[in-house]
Amino acid sequence: MHKIRRALISLLGLAAAAAFVFSQGTGQVPIVSAGQQRKTSEPYTGDLTIFDSPGRDERLQINRVIDILGIAPGKSVADIGAGSGWFTVRAARRVGEGGVVYAVDINPEAIQYIEKRVKDEKLANAKTILSQPDDPQLPADSVDAVLLLKTYHEVARPVVLLRNLRAALRPGAKVGIIDRNGNGENHGVGSEVVIREAQQAGYRLLDKYDFVKPDKMDYFLVFTAGP
């Protein structure tokens, strides 16, 4: 009986090893369930001024990004992983006094930094939210557009985050994700991983762009919530 048990365990081990080799050889990405944590990068906690480097607007073609997401006067926008508020202030200027921008971040220092920044820049339409790692804690039915700018690779449970985001989306809302290709630990994550996880969370891919950096390493994905 013990010999049979050992033989079965050996066979199971060989089958698992064969499946791993097959997935590596075919370039398939292992599927991770919503509650599991795949490889991610540590959330940034350093000097926030680095996000305001000269020429960043042009490198990311941020006005084109804003146009694609349909951010216009009177709209409501969420900047998830807002960091220094670099995108927050640009979106706030675009939506004007009749719109609102929610600057969402899990870092209390980033929230304090943004609050001072929008006060100094006299942007009364920007509001901050100190969120949870897998819940943006936005008001229900509150936003027309969302952007995660170089943030997604830091999210430990992205499927859960995206599911929790859905309640805040108005009909037809667009969710944009800008990131760079990587393995999850090197401040990047493959676009195919993002697309698969968004689909798991109930989103549909609308468009995929690679204009946000000349080196083609960065990508811009646009989703909408599925039916």
Strand-pair partners of 9: none
pLDDT of residue 116: 97
Which DSSP letter does residue 194 get? H
> Per the structure block, which two tokens stand in for 214?
């000349």
> Per the structure block, which two tokens stand in for 186?
């090197």
CB 87 within 8 A of CB 63: no
Helices (H), the chain: 2-26, 56-60, 62-68, 86-95, 108-120, 158-165, 191-200
Token pair 């109930």: residue: 202
Residue 191 to residues 77, 181, 186, Cα–Cα distance (Å): 23, 6, 14
Helices (H), 27-107: 56-60, 62-68, 86-95
R_g (Cα) of the chain, nearest Å:
20
pLDDT tens-place string over residues 30-64: 444 444 456 665 565 566 766 677 788 888 899 99
Q: For residue 182, give the nearest of 147, 133, 215 by alpha carbon.
A: 215
pLDDT tens-place string over residues 63-73: 999 999 999 99
pLDDT tens-place string over residues 101-120: 999 999 999 999 999 999 99
pLDDT tens-place string over residues 186-225: 678 999 999 999 999 999 999 999 887 676 679 999 999 9
pLDDT tens-place string over residues 127-160: 999 999 999 999 999 999 999 999 999 999 999 9
For 107-139, letters b (16+ CB in 10 Å) and e give beebbebbeebbeeeebebbbbbebeebebebe
pLDDT of residue 55: 82
